């Protein structure tokens, strides 16, 4: 392990707004990487990443989300979903730099859960999440006013998916709610209905609906969709009062692409195929699938699957390709559920040049692309996260 040079903290300027063409600069969070971003064609990228990581030694801990590209995953000290990664980082207090190869809300969660001395870095600040960006703090505050005017705010419990900004997690903590992941959404909803009579589920309508209908036995009519772009969410006071689940109108642009036709098509193409999808998929896709579960569930299921079994997987393509390659020698046939390519484009912004730039900058004592959550937001977001950890 080498000794790092003194830190030169360089704020990253707001400049590059590729994702939404500056339509909503606050949520787009695009920036350009200052300094020398290596060219993707540089043949020495792998060697440079390895050398910079070695120079940093135990001071750096690289987290790789399941949906990340192989070229980046090879440098991850640990892989997993966003919550597992944040907890893994917190369990490594000696690591001063947590390089999060994921998206913005994941890095925020890591900053909330890690110690004050640990600095969380996102190799490309334009790696946002379209779903998280579908619920802004202002929109959610306005929604709460609508619920208050409808006379139901005191009986509504917010439940927010991990895939949300720190602001939304803090809103959830302030109003006595909980965070959930795709693994514990059922337990989170059961807990919430023990606290109140209605749930405001943010920001993924599909996970909320699928969990309510599939796991808790509610009907689709028990759910209404709150559209933040319409006055009053596009709902009448009566509709708001009658609903058990008030679902925020958000979705994952990756999982939202799978359709009932994808399921019918793969069943016709591959006789005997098992269809296994993520609960961020639409309700009709989940209803037509054989099994439904989080990324960790998908991995465990494929690990336990017998040789000769056939699977069509409805989740992000990088993960499916990796699983297909991993299990092919065991005689398990794994295919992607859709015929079209379905990468998480924002997650894929973290590529090898950005990782090399980040690691070399840190090794040179230059802190770049740090993600921080202000103390007030962190306090309330932590409340909601701790409530999730305390779920029965």
Binding site for ligand SF4 (CB under 6 A): 67, 103, 129-131, 163, 252-254, 316, 344, 346-347
What are the two backbone dihedrals, phi and then psi, of residue 16, each rounded to the nearest 5 degrees?
-100, 115
Calpha distance 63→109 (Å, rounded): 13
What is the closest distance, in whole angstroms, from the C-beta atom of residue 256 to ligand SF4 in the complex? Answer: 8
Calpha distance 257→279 (Å, rounded): 13
- Tokens representing 28? 């787009």
Pairing of strands 119-121, 178-180: unpaired
What are the two backbone dihedrals, phi and then psi, of residue 299, each rounded to the nearest 5 degrees?
-65, -45
Residue found under tokens 């000769």: 308
User: Which CB atom, from 48 or from 65, has the smaller least distance to ligand SF4?
Assistant: 65
What is the closest distance, in whole angstroms, from the C-beta atom of residue 133 to ligand SF4 in the complex? Answer: 9
What is the closest distance, in whole angstroms, from the C-beta atom of residue 326 to ligand SF4 in the complex? Answer: 20
What is the closest distance, in whole angstroms, from the C-beta atom of residue 134 to ligand SF4 in the complex? Answer: 10
Annotated binding site: 65, 82, 129, 161-163, 182, 252, 278-280, 295, 344
User: Which CB atom, from 177 or from 250, has the smaller least distance to ligand SF4?
Assistant: 250
Cα–Cα nearest to 362, from 119, 128, 63, 124: 119
Dihedral angle, C-alpha 268, 269, 273, 278, nearest 10 °: -90
What is the closest distance, in whole angstroms, from the C-beta atom of residue 334 to ligand SF4 in the complex? Answer: 19
For 150-157, the CB contacts below 8 A with 24+ separation are 150/237, 150/240, 150/241, 151/241, 152/198, 152/240, 152/241, 155/196, 155/197, 155/198, 156/196, 156/197, 156/198, 156/199, 156/200, 156/246, 157/192, 157/193, 157/195, 157/196, 157/198, 157/199, 157/200
What is the closest distance, in whole angstroms, from the C-beta atom of residue 98 to ligand SF4 in the complex? Answer: 18
User: Which CB atom, from 67 or from 97, has the smaller least distance to ligand SF4?
Assistant: 67
What is the closest distance, in whole angstroms, from the C-beta atom of residue 203 to ligand SF4 in the complex? Answer: 9
Annotated binding site for [4Fe-4S] cluster: 129, 252, 344
- Tokens representing 2? 């080498």
Name the strand (E) or helix (H) holding 87: helix 82-90
User: Which CB atom, from 152 or from 252, has the smaller least distance to ligand SF4?
Assistant: 252
User: Which CB atom, from 146 or from 279, has the smaller least distance to ligand SF4?
Assistant: 279
User: Which CB atom, from 127 or from 213, has the smaller least distance to ligand SF4?
Assistant: 127
Calpha distance 160→200 (Å, rounded): 8
Cα–Cα nearest to 131, from 192, 195, 206, 185: 206
Annotated binding site for iminosuccinate: 65, 82, 161-163, 182, 278-280, 295
What is the closest distance, in whole angstroms, from the C-beta atom of residue 385 to ligand SF4 in the complex? Answer: 18
User: Which CB atom, from 101 or from 129, has the smaller least distance to ligand SF4?
Assistant: 129
3-state helix, strand, coil in the chain (%, to 5): 45, 15, 40
């Amino acid at each position: 392990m080498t000794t790092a040079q003194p830190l030169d903290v360089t704020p990253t300027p707001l400049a590059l707004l590729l994702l939404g063409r500056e339509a909503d600069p606050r949520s787009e969070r695009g920036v350009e990487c200052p300094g020398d971003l290596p060219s993707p064609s540089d043949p020495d990228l792998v060697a440079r990443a390895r050398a910079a990581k070695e120079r940093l030694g135990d001071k750096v801990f690289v987290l790789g989300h399941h949906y990340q590209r192989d070229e980046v995953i090879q440098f991850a000290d640990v892989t997993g979903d966003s919550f597992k990664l944040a907890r893994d980082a917190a369990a490594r207090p000696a690591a001063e730099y947590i390089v999060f190869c994921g998206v913005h809300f994941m890095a925020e969660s890591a900053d909330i859960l890690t110690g004050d001395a640990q600095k969380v870095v996102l190799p490309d600040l334009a790696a946002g999440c379209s779903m998280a960006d579908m619920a802004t703090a202002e929109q959610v505050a306005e929604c709460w006013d609508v619920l208050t005017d409808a006379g139901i705010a005191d009986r509504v419990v917010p439940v927010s998916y991990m895939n949300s900004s720190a602001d939304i997690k803090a809103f959830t903590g302030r109003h006595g709610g909980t965070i959930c992941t795709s693994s514990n959404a059922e337990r989170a909803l059961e807990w919430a209905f023990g606290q109140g009579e209605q749930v405001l589920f943010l920001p993924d309508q599909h996970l909320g609906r699928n969990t309510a209908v599939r796991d808790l036995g509610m009907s689709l009519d028990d759910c209404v969709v709150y559209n933040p772009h319409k006055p009053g969410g596009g709902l009448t006071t009566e509709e708001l009062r009658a609903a058990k689940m008030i679902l925020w109108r958000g979705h994952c642009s990756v999982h939202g692409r799978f359709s009932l036709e994808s399921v019918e098509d793969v069943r016709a193409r591959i006789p005997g195929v098992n269809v296994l999808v993520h609960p961020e998929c639409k309700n009709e896709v989940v209803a037509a699938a054989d099994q439904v579960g989080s990324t960790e569930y998908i991995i465990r299921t494929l690990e336990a699957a017998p040789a000769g079994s056939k699977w069509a997987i409805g989740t992000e393509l990088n993960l499916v390709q990796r699983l297909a390659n991993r299990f092919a020698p065991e005689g398990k046939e794994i295919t992607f559920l859709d015929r079209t390519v379905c990468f998480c484009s924002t997650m894929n912004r973290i590529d090898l040049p950005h990782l090399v730039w980040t690691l070399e900058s840190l090794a040179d004592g230059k802190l770049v692309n740090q993600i921080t959550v202000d103390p007030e937001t962190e306090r309330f977001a932590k409340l909601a996260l701790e409530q999730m950890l305390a779920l029965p």
